[in-house]
Amino acid sequence: MSRFLSDEWIGELGRALETGIDLGTGTDGVALTVQQIVTGTRDGEVAYCVVIDHDRAHVIPGRAATPDVTFTQDYATAAAISAGGESAQSAFMTGRLRLGGDVSVLLDHQEALARLTDLFAVVRSTTTY
């Protein structure tokens, strides 16, 4: 079990992505960085990035120099989304999740992002909040 947003948890996300998954033909030529910023944690602000590089993906701790998209939310919102108790769309519509950057890339790469979500479900099952 790892604590949500801890260094160990971010490492587990990365290992989940390094299992050899093929993100699909829709990611040929795609280079995409999605940054997550979570405020109000017991460790202060926590940031990490999911990087899609063609048909592979990995996670890096901290902020990216030039993310394509940034999600910013407080701890309670991030935990609810991660645990599956709330959708990102709902949090966005109520103003608790803010988006920055080129939001159109989310629509352009829905299939690859959905595959990442499936992989993260494995980590979710061993996460404490």
Domain boundaries, the chain: 2-128
Alpha carbon distance 23, 98 (integer Å)? 26
pLDDT tens-place string over residues 42-88: 999 999 999 988 777 889 999 999 999 999 999 999 999 999 899 99
Q: Which CATH class is domain 2-128?
A: alpha beta
Yes or no: say if 26 and 36 are a contact pair by the CB < 8 Å rule: no
Q: Residue 97 forms beta bridges with which residues?
A: 73
Q: What pLDDT, on the 0 to 100 scale, is given for residue 82?
A: 93
Q: Residue 36: beta bridge partners?
A: 48, 71
Q: Find the Cα–Cα–Cα–Cα dihedral 27, 117, 57, 6, rounded to 10°.
A: 160
At residue 25 the predicted structure's pLDDT band, cuts being 50, 70 and 90, is low
Q: How many CB atoms lie within 10 A of CB 108?
A: 13
pTM of the full predicted structure? 0.90
pLDDT tens-digit map of 91-106 = 999 999 999 999 999 8
DSSP bridge pairs for 98: 72
Can you read off the two tokens belonging to residue 74? Answer: 């407080």
